[in-house]
Amino acid sequence: MKPYLRIEEDPGSSMSFLIGDTFREALFEPWKLFFLPLMLYRRIRNQRVAEQLILESNIEILYLIDAESLLDNEFKMFEQILASRGSDLIASVGDFGTIMDFSIPSRKSNSDTKQQWNNDLEKFVESAIISRRPKKLIFIGKYPYAGLLGIIRRLESQKFTAWLPIRPHSKAIKERSSRFGQILDWNFAIDPTIELDLDSVHIDSKVSSESTVEISQWVKEYGLNHSNPHDAGLHIYSESGLGRIKGALERGHLVVYLYETSFDKDFTSRIHVPFFFPIVRTNSGEAEYCVKQILSLYSTNRISLRTSSTIQCEKWNNVIEDAFN
């Protein structure tokens, strides 16, 4: 199977059609009958080469979003989440703001018949799959339209398709969920934002007294203050305080970790990497330079903390990974 969504070959690409069409061409232009064996050979060869050709795909997910089924808070949340995913393609039924790549008018705002509109939707999604070769398809909406189900039915595999239901009717779930490879579950509730003091630093009590004195001087040099672990935006730990680091990262704090031997690689996960700064202390000059650079960036607001928006993006990435891996 090719590493992207692929529509099953239509009858026009079948071997019998190629042979019949070649004979038809020769009958309309009789002089070509002399070259019929060569014509058949070339068309069959070209067709087989095309079937074996594997093209590259730079599109991870094709989203089809039924914009009119989203409430305002849901609309804004998915705008933020999808805007952070640069390798995805966003198609919408109705208007989905500035981040959509292309759209089709909604059923309510269109004067076409239901059948014609669904035919247009099927062609709309089909053209995106053929031209951009996405690896996955996710529909976000209340009701999977017949046009969408038509194109999913024609895919070589439905394994990498998914539906995130938005307040669906139980009948729709019962009748249409089986058409998708995955059904996604998403909680639109936003975790309360933790207000941190971005002008303060917390130095863990397990950090050596000598290091604490040095770091405290640097904190003062950069116009920062000391604070408790709940309020301070930046925490500094040593190997003795390893157990508290994960909690600090999960609450959204920036963490500097001073170590001499090794550190737990769990902290190097994709979620924690932008907020976790391990610094080896074997070379005191280099360690001092690194800590001062971080304090400098922190004091000028050039290091970003985890916001509610980044947390939602992390959660969405986890939902996708769990569904398709």
* Annotated domain spans of the chain: 11-52, 61-190+314-324, 197-306
Percent of the chain at pLDDT exceeding 90: 49
Average pLDDT of span 30-47: 82
In CATH terms, are 61-190+314-324 and 197-306 the same topology?
yes
- The larger pLDDT score, comparing residue 298 to residue 325, is at 298
Q: Report whether pLDDT(241) > 90.
A: no
Residue type at 54 in one-letter notation: I
pLDDT at position 32: 83
Q: Report whether pLDDT(134) > 60.
A: yes
pLDDT at position 11: 58
pLDDT at position 86: 80
- The larger pLDDT score, comparing residue 16 to residue 168, is at 168
- For 169-228, the pLDDT digits (tens) are 888 888 899 999 999 999 887 766 677 898 999 999 999 999 999 999 999 999 999 999
- For 159-175, the pLDDT digits (tens) are 999 999 999 888 888 88
Percent of the chain at pLDDT exceeding 70: 91
pLDDT at position 12: 60
pLDDT at position 51: 61
pLDDT at position 191: 67
pLDDT at position 264: 67
Q: What is the CATH number of domain 61-190+314-324?
A: 3.40.50.1000
Contact 296, 222 (CB under 8 A): yes
- The larger pLDDT score, comparing residue 246 to residue 115, is at 115
Q: Which tokens in the block code for residue 195?
A: 């207000």
Q: What is the CATH number of domain 197-306?
A: 3.40.50.450
pLDDT at position 265: 67
Q: Report whether pLDDT(8) > 70.
A: yes
- For 92-110, the pLDDT digits (tens) are 999 888 788 989 999 888 8
Q: Report whether pLDDT(315) > 70.
A: yes
pLDDT at position 54: 58
H/E segment holding residue 4: none
Task: Please provide the average confidence, as pLDDT, over all residues in the chain.
Answer: 87
pLDDT at position 231: 92
pLDDT at position 46: 79
Q: How confident is the model at residue 55 (pLDDT cuts 50, 70, 90)?
A: low
DSSP 161-214: EEEEESS--HHHHHHHGGGSSEE-----PPPPPP--EEEEEEE-TTS-HHHHHH
pLDDT at position 294: 95
Q: Which residue in 158, 142, 159, 141 sits closest to 150, CA to CA?
A: 158
Pairwise CA distance, residues 295 & 145, whole Å: 54
Q: Which tokens in the block code for residue 183?
A: 């059904």
In terms of DSSP H, where are the helices of the chain? 15-28, 36-52, 72-83, 114-132, 146-153, 170-176, 209-221, 242-251, 284-299, 308-324
Three-state SS at 121: helix
Q: Report whether pLDDT(273) > 80.
A: no
